[in-house]
A and B are shown apart, each in its own frame.
Chain A
Amino acid sequence: MMVVVDNVVTAFGSHVVHNGVSLHVNKGEIFGLLGGSGSGKTVLMREMILLNQPRSGRIEVLGRSLATLDEAAKQALRLQWGVLFQFGALFSSLTVLENVMIPLQEYTALPRGFIEEMARMKLKMVGLPEHAASLWPSELSGGMKKRAGLARALALDPKLLFLDEPTSGLDPASARGFDTLILELRELLGITIVMVTHDKDTIRDVLDRFVILGEGKVQAQGSYTELMGTHSELMKRFME
């Protein structure tokens, strides 16, 4: 299993976000974290990628239990996943191409020309036009920022990819393009994907399984067809 979340409790001050959340993500799966605003989807994802810490409970990513890792082990783990933040989170002092090149430059021994070629390929893979490579992040539209962010997340061919609302703010055609891209990446690179999403097309067409978070708990867990049967009321709220 790629990710295991076991009985996680998270609270900010007296505000309890998760009150015993458990879930698991299988290898090669596209897994969704769903829930209303403030249900703690993004916080849960941030806990998986070592940005936040749960108050109690256990989170295991790629077979390593996060709470007990030392700094070197955390660093090794960080190189095995890619993260796409909601607004791309590109480094504004670097061009788009440099944003994609930097993980490769820092963590591989590949020659510079090859790294540049790889970065250009990744940018093209995520559907950015070639001229975008030399642009600055501030010159990109929201959708292009996301694509560039995805290219950066894919730079080191991660086994595990975390996406925070990958299709929000994209026009329908681009959003479906993004979905196709995600499916293609999973197919070709064998990536496991965990995403926070609200997009009902993505929920229906892309996710293999997902959980619905609410009131600090997992309200439902399963595939789209399963949950449409067992939790039709709850599902309706998301699919409308």
Chain B
Amino acid sequence: MQKLFVLDVTPSCCRIVCQGEWTHAFVSSVLGAKAWGEVKQKAVFDFSQVLSMDTAGALAWLRIKKELEVRGVSVEKVGIPKKMEKLISLCQTHSRHSLKTTPPSFGFSEGFVVLGKQTEVLWRAFLSFVSFAGGAMYALLKTLTKPHKIRFRATLYHLEQSGLNALPIIIITALLIGVVIAYQGAVQLEKFGANIFIVEMVGIAATRELAPMIVAIVIAGRSASAFAAQIGVMKITDEVDAMKTMGFGPWEFLVLPRVVALVVAMPLLVLLGDGVAIFGGMLVARGELGISFVEFIDRFQETVALKHIVIGLVKAPIFGIIIALIGCYRGFQISSSTESVGKYTTISVVNAIFWVIAFNALFSVLLTELGI
């Protein structure tokens, strides 16, 4: 590493011959040098041998000068080329700062402040979501009175994107869920010789609870994130504002097609999920317990009440509304930074899955208490 200065100390004066490249690649050695401690009373910097200097070099010198002056050393510079002199004075005028950043202190009482602020943030988020959901409902009612305003093409597009294109993943997950319940059930039921009860087990669990849940979770992962990201990017590129200024409501153009698409798609997907999950159960029942398909279906018709399937199908559009509203709502929260796209897309999925599970639990308790 090159040496950037040579100290020449005499009792009354310290002459510092600067040399080499005073640039950002090298000046760190100047800043940390212990030699500055030896400089007393008077320092004369000779710049005539400096090869080049950049802003880092200029600032480093200014910093050393300041340190020395604080200690009562008078500082002079000699032999400095005009350009460097100018550079130093440029750096000097721009390096004075009035703002001092003080790290915030954090104590016991500040904890309450944070708690209060967070509570308020949560409360406001809740209110704004309620008002968003209200806005969507209002827009829905309004368009129902003027059916020609319904965006059929956009709705069909989202039906395809969120419904049709989700079929493969829905089929695979539902089949696996059916297989897994039946498999675990088969081991236990075989111990009691109650093999045939596999039909009720798979039939009721899948249609009433598991198929709607699994479908909702898959759709939340696929579509809530997609909705949030699509709307968010539209917001960043000012598309949403352009719509508003042209008198197209974001509700009718962006939110309703997505909500309606999921409301329509979800029951259909759940119905498919029911069928596939039961088929998965049938496969295991035949393979592990020796129950033929015909036996399984006979028993299914006898023992699995229609209400279980209906309950599953009734929950589906509600899950659809939850997922679409949360996806869109989080999308509209995305602001001008690209980072917020990632943030709110993630939040939309987490929120959608949470609320689907929470509503499912609510239904479960409510319906069981009502004896349905």
Q: How far is the CA of A93 from the CA of B28 in the complex (A)?
A: 28
Q: Are A122 and B338 in contact (CB under 8 A)?
A: no
The answer to whether A157 has its CB under 8 Å from any CB of chain B is yes
Q: How far is the CA of A31 from the CA of B141 in the complex (A)?
A: 61
Shortest beta-carbon distance from A124 to chain B in Å: 4
Q: How far is the CA of A190 from the CA of B28 in the complex (A)?
A: 22
User: Which of the candidate stretches B82-90, B128-136, B175-183, B290-298 sits at the interface with the other chain?
Assistant: B82-90
Query: For residues 79 through 99 of chain B, which have their beta carbon under 8 Å from a beta carbon of chain A?
Result: 83, 86-87, 90-91, 94-95, 97-99
Shortest beta-carbon distance from B229 to chain A in Å: 15
B residues contacting the other copy or chain, number (CB 8 A): 30
Q: Are A189 and B55 in contact (CB under 8 A)?
A: yes
Query: For residues 74 through 125 of chain A, which have their beta carbon under 8 Å from a beta carbon of chain B?
Result: 92-93, 104, 108-111, 114, 117-118, 120-122, 124-125
Partner of A93, one of B59, B83, B339: B339
Q: Are A130 and B98 in contact (CB under 8 A)?
A: yes
Given A93-B339, A121-B91, A125-B90, A108 and B25 touching (CB < 8 A)? yes
Partner of B337, one of A131, A138, A154, A189: A138
The answer to whether A35 has its CB under 8 Å from any CB of chain B is no
Q: How far is the CA of A191 from the CA of B135 in the complex (A)?
A: 56
Question: Which residues of chain A come closer than 8 Å to B54, judged between CB atoms?
Answer: 157, 189
Partner of B63, one of A117, A130, A137: A117
Q: How far is the CA of A129 from the CA of B81 in the complex (A)?
A: 31
Q: How far is the CA of A189 from the CA of B57 in the complex (A)?
A: 12
Q: Are A157 and B31 in contact (CB under 8 A)?
A: no
Q: Are A108 and B90 in contact (CB under 8 A)?
A: no
Query: For residues 16 through 62 of chain A, which have their beta carbon under 8 Å from a beta carbon of chain B?
Result: none
Partner of A156, one of B24, B83, B86: B24
Partner of B95, one of A93, A121, A136, A190: A121
Question: Which residues of chain A come closer than 8 Å to B63, judged between CB atoms?
Answer: 114, 117
The answer to whether A188 has its CB under 8 Å from any CB of chain B is yes
Interface string of A178-209 (1 = CB under 8 A from B): 00000010011110000000000000000000
Q: How far is the CA of A189 from the CA of B53 in the complex (A)?
A: 9
Q: Are A125 and B27 in contact (CB under 8 A)?
A: no
Q: Are B339 and A114 in contact (CB under 8 A)?
A: no
Q: Are B338 and A92 in contact (CB under 8 A)?
A: yes
Q: Are B94 and A121 in contact (CB under 8 A)?
A: yes
By a beta-carbon cutoff of 8 Å, the part of chain B in contact with chain A is 23-25, 27-28, 31-32, 54-56, 59-60, 63, 83, 86-87, 90-91, 94-95, 97-99, 101, 335-340
- Taking A118-B55, A125-B90, A188-B90 as known contacts, 14 extra A-B pairs with beta carbons closer than 8 A to each other, sorted by chain A number, are A110-B24, A110-B27, A111-B28, A121-B91, A121-B95, A124-B95, A130-B97, A130-B98, A157-B55, A184-B90, A188-B86, A189-B54, A189-B55, A189-B87
- CB<8 Å pairs between A and B, sample of 26: A104-B56, A108-B24, A108-B25, A110-B31, A111-B28, A111-B31, A111-B32, A114-B59, A114-B63, A118-B24, A118-B56, A122-B94, A124-B97, A125-B90, A130-B98, A130-B99, A134-B101, A136-B337, A138-B340, A156-B24, A157-B23, A157-B55, A157-B56, A187-B86, A188-B83, A190-B83
